[in-house]
């Protein structure tokens, strides 16, 4: 597909993923996932007298965790290693490892870094966001993170989105997380726009899969680290490395 400008004549809204598209928090998430999983895997290996194989911050993160709800990311990765844990929950904080507890540990690591370092912004993502709003298109942020609101506030970009659908929304509304299209379809519903006249902008495999399954008018994959082919294979209509190309 040739490059397409996002104009009011063709589209009514643009739905942005947050981490890795607008904010530079994807790398922070990946680092926190690795620290948490490596702590668990090292202990698991010692306890079961098996080799310790660390979490791969690129392959494992992209394949099993990126873009997914926290507990689903934990479950997906552990399943890849043949490890079964009970789900657990906030009322079962004990020494026993649970999926919920591992996710809670990762969340604590992320919030600590967020407080210490703040949030970086991708200038091309912000440029596109300002551009489409100036053109009269509605905007939404659609993130699997329960920390989405905190990240938006830390980056001071709340005002750029008409709607926020995040991990908290998914839980409250009992939606399925990415790669299911539910969160994006919910955002379109809140904006009162048709998916067919809406654009999804995503950097995660699960995100472009969600956009494709939701039959959105255009699914844009953001390949900041050369992952263009895999994004195209999983549902992106077009893949860019710089979102400013969509302003031409």
The three-point CA angle 72-76-82 to 5° equals 140
Active-site residue set: 17, 19
Q: E strands, the chain, where?
A: 13-16, 138-142, 163-165, 198-202, 218-222, 238-240
Q: E strands, 22-171, where?
A: 138-142, 163-165
CA 71 vs CA 13, 62, 100, 192: distances in Å = 30, 16, 6, 30
State how far the Cα of 138 lies from the Cα of 16, in Å rounded to an integer: 11
């Amino acid at each position: 597909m040739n490059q397409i400008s996002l104009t009011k004549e063709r589209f009514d809204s643009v739905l942005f993923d947050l981490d890795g598209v607008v904010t530079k928090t994807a790398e922070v998430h990946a680092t926190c996932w690795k620290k948490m999983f490596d702590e668990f895997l090292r202990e698991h290996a010692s306890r079961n007298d098996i080799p310790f194989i660390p979490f791969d911050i690129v392959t494992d993160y992209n394949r099993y965790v990126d873009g997914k709800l926290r507990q689903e990311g934990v479950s997906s990765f552990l399943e890849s290693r043949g490890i079964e844990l009970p789900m657990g929950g906030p009322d079962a904080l004990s020494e026993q490892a649970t999926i919920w507890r591992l996710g809670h540990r990762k969340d604590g690591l992320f919030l600590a870094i967020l407080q210490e370092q703040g949030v970086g912004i991708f200038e091309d993502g912000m440029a596109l966001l300002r551009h489409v709003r100036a053109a009269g298109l509605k905007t939404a942020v659609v993130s699997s993170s329960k920390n989405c609101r905190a990240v938006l506030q830390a980056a001071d970009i709340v005002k750029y989105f008409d709607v926020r659908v995040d991990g908290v929304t998914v839980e409250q509304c009992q939606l399925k997380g990415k790669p299911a299209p539910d969160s994006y379809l919910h955002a379109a519903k809140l904006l009162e726009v048709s998916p067919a006249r809406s654009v999804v902008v995503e950097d995660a495999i699960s995100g472009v899969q969600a956009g494709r399954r939701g039959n959105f008018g255009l699914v844009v994959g953001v390949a900041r680290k050369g992952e263009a082919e895999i994004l195209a294979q999983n549902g992106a209509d077009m893949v860019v490395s710089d979102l400013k190309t969509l302003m031409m």
